[in-house]
Each structure stands twice: as C-alpha cells, then as structure tokens.
A and B are shown apart, each in its own frame.
Chain A
C-alpha cells in the first residue's frame, strides 16, 4: 500500500511530464491543423462550390469579377473577402480557431458565422480535438425561441396607396412546433427591409433606387405583420407552406442568423425584400435556382410564382383576408333590414337596445354587431380625425356583443381575387397591327412592369393598375416611317368603388410620351404628364362592372403646339366590365380644355377589349379617337 503523498507525487510527476511538452507545442499544432484544413479546402475547390457562393452572396460584378452583394465589411473575415471567395474561405477557417468576437454581433466566428461553420465542419470533417467547437448560447436561445417546425412564405398583396407596397412584399414565417391555424400569429417571421430614417422625404426616391439605404434582416412576430398588413393597410395576405426538411430549416435559420451580422445596400428594383428571401431559400436548399429568373428587377409576385414553379417546394396555400374584405363578405350575408341596422349601430350603438334589433334571432344579432364592430375597427385605423369616436363606439358595440353570450359563427371568407401564383407574369411583350386615319401600321411593345387594368385580372389587386417603363415602336406603311409611338415612364390608376361603407377616392397619374396629329404635323412627339382624382362605383349586371369619373389636370409639350405647350384640365368618365371570365371591356370618354399655351380643346374616346387566352397570353383591341385622329390596334400579348 502506497502512502497517500506518494500517490500524489507520482500523479503530479506524470502530469508535469505530459503537460509541459504539450504547452510548448500548442501553437504549432493549431497552426499545422489550420494550414492542413486550408490546404484541404483549396484542393477540393470548396470556394467554388455553390454553397460557399450562396453563403457569401457572391455574384458577378459589371467587370465580370466575383463580387459579393453583401456590403458590410463586418461580414467578411478577409479584407479582400468581398471580391475573393478563396481568401475569405482561408480567413474563415483561420478565424474558427479563435474565440475573439467578430462581426456586428460580436461573437466568436464559429457562432457569428454559424452556417459557414457547420457547412465547413461537415465538408472538412473538423477534428474536435484540434479545432474545438464553441458553445453558441445566444444562437441556441434564439433558435429555441423560434421553436421551428416549418417555414411559410407570406405574400401581402400589392397596395397602390402606399409607395412602399405598390408591388407587394414577401417574407418568411418560421412556423412553430405545435402551432395551429389559430395560433400561427405567435410565430416569428424573417423579414428583409430597408432601414429608412424617420422623416425621409423626396430623397427617399433616388436613395431607394440607387442603393443608398441599408437593408437588414429582422424577426418581428407574425402578429405585428398581420396588424400592419391586414388591419392597417387592408391588404389580403397569402401564406404558402414550404416543404423544407428539418435539415433545410436549420440551414435557413443558421444563415439568417449570420445575416444578422450585416447589411446589404437596398436596391428598390432588384436587391429588394423578395430577392433576399430567395437567397435564404437557395441556401436552405442549394438545388433551388430561384433568382436566375431575375436579372434587372425582382417583383414580389413574380418571386411567388418562381417559388411555386419549383417542383414540390410549395404545399398548401392559405388565404388571410384583409379587414375590408372581411367586412364586404360578412355584409353580403345580411338582409336589407339587418344591413341598415348594422349601419345604424355604427352611428349609434344604442340601437342594440331597441326592440327592432332585439327581435332578430340571437345568431343574427351577433352577426350584425360583428359587422358593425369590424367596420368601426377599420375606421379606427384610418387617419380620420374622429378615430377616438369610432373606438368608443366600437367599445359600446362590443359590450352589447359580449352580453349575447354566444360565440360568433365561423365564416369562411373568400377572396375577391385569385391567389397570386395564378396571375400573369409582369413583363409584357405585344405584337400588333392596325389603322391610323388613312395609313396602316405594325407595332411592337415592351413593358417592364406590372399590370394594366385590361391585363388578365386573376391574382392581382382588383381595379389597380401600375405600369412602368413601357415603349411602343411602330412602322407606318404609307408614310414609310418607323418611330417610337408611345412611351410610359409611369402610369398608375387606382379605382376604389364607393358604397355605403367605403368611400376612398380613386386617382390616376401618368407620365410619358405619345404621338399626335395636329395642324400640319402628322406624327408628332408629345410629352405628357397628367393626373386626376375621382370616384368609382360598381354593379353586378353582367358579371362585375366598375364605373368611374375623374377630374383631371394635364400638361403637354410638343413642337406641334403654338408656344410648344398646352396646359389645361378636364374630365373623364368610363366603365370597366368583366363580361365573362376571359373577356374584359373598357370604355371611356374625356373632354379637355387648355387655357394655357396653345389654347384649344379636345374630345377623346377610348374602347379597349381583352380576351384572355392563357395565364400568360391575351388578345387586345384598342380604339382611340382624339380630335379627328382615329387609331385602331389589334394585338397579341405575352407575359414573361
């Protein structure tokens, strides 16, 4: 039996023998393993692999060099990282051996760039004894709070009355374990948005287009997004469940986490919210090539279609109606008497105490009160000065409602327009021919984006038109001339049918050029800017018809005019009719008087007709009459 202290001495001696050489050789061992890993990565050309390109957001710049879309220096571990995938890979491996905090989020590289770490660990089979894995508590807690089970793509429909929302938006929702249809509000989302300073004015325009704002990823809870889109902006939302494996969901979250380290310059047309959401999905499943379709601009609705077109990626689609859709659908369930009671309640909640109301069956009383409450909540979110009055009335309506002591019936609210994925694509090419006065012509048009009132309507916000960057080239046969016939910089038209509850104005704005015949000039360029405010109503005689009237102002510049310009105003009335599901008609007539410049007036007629052939194909006929100038075009349109 050894004495105790003898054992201790032996143990100490052994540990000194083992420890001391180890300590002195620690640095070289790490150095060796680091060099070995970098060498191994170079030999297997990891820097060229799609995953590495996706992780670092490499693309090709104007000079054909590799360049990352990422603009935050803190995102790169090598000073040359933005332009050199290999240097970045070498530096990343080296940094994994250190625990120093890096990036905006100040974490060790293994945690700050956790997606890179996991991918490289797997590809290079890191030896845990020579490259010790670090605990990433912050990431673990974040992921646990997300509690992920699935991912959904959320698309709030386009909304013309807010410049930020004209083309729609997309973001991801991380569906939680155990979540139901009723509790999905509690899930977190992954959203990419530009950080625009408070009170930004006109500079917001060019800064947004030319990338002067920084875009960041963030994770607001879904209920705040629903509040913003459904309740405040009144936009329908579509939720597409994505089929991702648990492994792919993890990759997505890890990459989102590392994107929290950095910003991209936000480019309105291309590198916008939808573009970066596609990037995230591509890293989750690198076999997806979702961004390939988008070279110059990325329209959110087009990205939804790109995702849907990827075989097997999308599961069920769920519709989430806007508040105004809910009100319109529920209102349609009321009888005339109930409807007038409901409108009465919106003005005076005490009507609920009167005998006429009390004579309704219990469930009908609940429905009438619910419509009144929905409407008062809708009004409570507007910038109406009476907001507090509406809120107070809503409180009284709800008090009456709670006294009925029955739950509201479950009502399935159907959308007024089909889901966005069945819509046409947004770029349009047109070939056509026709007559103008005594001449014939052929023409070709290109429109960059987005939707005309006569384009096939499924999937688009009803009665809303937004066209930008369009040009038409025409060849006149007798005159033997080829010329730019029309060009559109921007053409927006928003019709909001008015009824006893909804009273938004309709409006339109147009800037572009067209061709006019005036005095001696047969085919003259005319630059025009015009706009108007008006009102619209709808009926359902054939299928659905919308009537509109605008008061307008217009300015023209052309050498065909005396003093080269004429400025004035007038009015337009017209109608838009869905004759059948495929056939749509538009008729309008305008009168204009120009008291400034070339003093004159104008009467115009327009008849447009469209027949949809397929999701991305349509035939159009347009007849334009303008002051003894008649123009008829028949054309075939393709959307891509």
Chain B
C-alpha cells in the first residue's frame, strides 16, 4: 500500500533517477561533519541518540549535509581514539534490529562488523558469534534489548573470555 499516491499521473514527473533524496527532518548539524558529529551531539546526553538519523533512514534518505564532504572532519574531533570507541555504539544504535537478529542467529555481517569495531580479530569471530547468541538469550530473558545493553553485553562477553581479547582499536 506504500505509495498508492504514486498512482497520480504526476508520479512520473516526480521520478528521479537515482539519488533524489528527501531531506527528512535530519538534525541541524550545521555544516555537517558526518557521522561523528551526530555521535558528538547526541551521545553525551544519550536518550535520543541517533534517533533523528533513524527517522531519516526510515524514509530512505539523509540530508546531504549530514554526511557532507570537506565541510568538517569525518569524526568531528581530532581525538581518533574517542571516535574509534564511539563508532561501535553508533553502529549498534543505527543497526539495532539487524544486530539483534544476528546475535540471536549466531552469525551475520552486522555481527561480524560489530566484532571488528570491538576489536575482535577475524579468527575469533566464530567464538564471538557464539558468545553473542548466548548473551542475546540472557538479555532478552531480562527484557533488556536496547542497543546500549547489547553493546555492554558484547563488551562484557569479550572481557571475560581471554580468547576474544581485544586487539588494538584502529
């Protein structure tokens, strides 16, 4: 039923081959500096984290300014380490559904990407996936499936299992 309004003949004139994004209520990040600025703005105060981008992605688009090139640094900060740590939380926030599903299924590219962001080396991914599946069962049993809880559970899982020991964050 999604776009029955499309039946309007004008639908065709509205047709945009590629990349005609509707800027959908993205936060006013000023001359954007990418993902990092959103992290920077939203994370210290938690709660709404990335919610606005989620709104934008739900509509299949982002304001082009959100990820503008050269109007700032990608991470919006010179502190590369701070940004490296934020990336995992951002990723979980923006992919929470896929991450939850893949944790429960014990495999998947979002989970593998998460492992990489958390510094788990490639050969340990299978062990990480098994740990994630086990943690998912516990989290959902406790009714706590927020992205932050998932990241925390994965981090704990890594810290108690010496074989998953972190490699240096990139």
Q: Which of A's residues lie within 8 Å of B, judged by CB?
A: 104-105, 107, 112, 138-139, 141-142, 144-147, 160-171, 180-186, 188, 190-198, 200, 202, 204-206, 208-209, 213, 215-221, 223-224, 227-229, 231-233, 256-261, 266, 268-269, 272-274, 297-300, 366, 370, 373, 377, 380-383, 391, 394-395, 398-399, 401-403, 405-408, 410, 466, 468, 489-490, 492, 504-505, 507, 509, 511, 529, 531, 533
Instruction: Verify B71–A398 contact, CB threshold 8 A.
Output: no
B18 interface neighbour in A272, A489, A504, Cβ under 8 Å: A272
- Which chain B positions have C-beta within 8 A of A167? 15, 17-18
- Which chain B positions have C-beta within 8 A of A141? 73-75, 78, 80
A399 and B15 alpha carbons, distance in the complex (Å): 42
- Which chain A positions have C-beta within 8 A of B116? 183, 186
Instruction: Verify B71–A105 contact, CB threshold 8 A.
Output: yes
Instruction: Verify B69–A218 contact, CB threshold 8 A.
Output: yes
Instruction: Verify A395–B140 contact, CB threshold 8 A.
Output: yes
- Chain A min CB distance to B18 (Å): 4
Query: What are 11 A-B contacts with C-beta separation under 8 Å?
Result: A142-B74, A145-B83, A163-B20, A164-B14, A186-B113, A200-B22, A202-B10, A221-B35, A260-B71, A266-B20, A490-B9
Instruction: Verify A196–B91 contact, CB threshold 8 A.
Output: no
Q: A142-B70, A218-B68, A219-B34 are in contact. Are A402 and B140 (CB under 8 A)?
A: yes
Q: How many A-B pairs with Cβ below 8 Å?
A: 293
Instruction: Verify A531–B7 contact, CB threshold 8 A.
Output: yes
Instruction: Verify A171–B14 contact, CB threshold 8 A.
Output: no
Q: A161-B6, A164-B22, A509-B7 are in contact. Are A219 and B14 (CB under 8 A)?
A: no
A399 interface neighbour in B21, B32, B137, Cβ under 8 Å: B137
B13 interface neighbour in A165, A196, A206, A410, Cβ under 8 Å: A206
A266 and B71 alpha carbons, distance in the complex (Å): 20
- Chain A min CB distance to B147 (Å): 14
Name which of A197, A223, A257 has the most chain B CB atoms within 10 A of its CB: A223
Query: Does B169 count as interface, using CB distance less than 8 angstroms?
Result: no
- Which chain A positions have C-beta within 8 A of B67? 191, 218-220
Instruction: Verify A232–B57 contact, CB threshold 8 A.
Output: yes
- Which chain B positions have C-beta within 8 A of A186? 91, 113, 116-117
How many chain-B residues does the 8 Å CB contact rule pick out? 81
Closest 9 CB pairs of A and B: A260-B69, A273-B19, A260-B70, A167-B17, A205-B13, A273-B18, A169-B18, A182-B112, A407-B106
Query: Does B16 count as interface, using CB distance less than 8 angstroms?
Result: yes
- Which chain B positions have C-beta within 8 A of A208? 13-14, 16, 20
- Which chain A positions have C-beta within 8 A of B17? 166-169, 268-269, 272-274, 297-300
B23 interface neighbour in A145, A198, A273, Cβ under 8 Å: A198
Interface of A is mostly: mixed
- Chain A min CB distance to B3 (Å): 5
- Which chain B positions have C-beta within 8 A of A112? 70
Instruction: Verify A505–B6 contact, CB threshold 8 A.
Output: no
Instruction: Verify B62–A507 contact, CB threshold 8 A.
Output: no
Instruction: Verify A268–B16 contact, CB threshold 8 A.
Output: yes
- Which chain A positions have C-beta within 8 A of B19? 164, 169, 171, 191-194, 215, 272-274
Instruction: Verify A194–B7 contact, CB threshold 8 A.
Output: no
Q: Which residue of B lies closest to A530 (CB)?
A: B9
- Which chain A positions have C-beta within 8 A of B80? 141, 144
A219 and B15 alpha carbons, distance in the complex (Å): 23
A167 and B104 alpha carbons, distance in the complex (Å): 36
- Which chain A positions have C-beta within 8 A of B31? 104-105
- Which chain B positions have C-beta within 8 A of A146? 74
B105 interface neighbour in A261, A370, A468, Cβ under 8 Å: A370
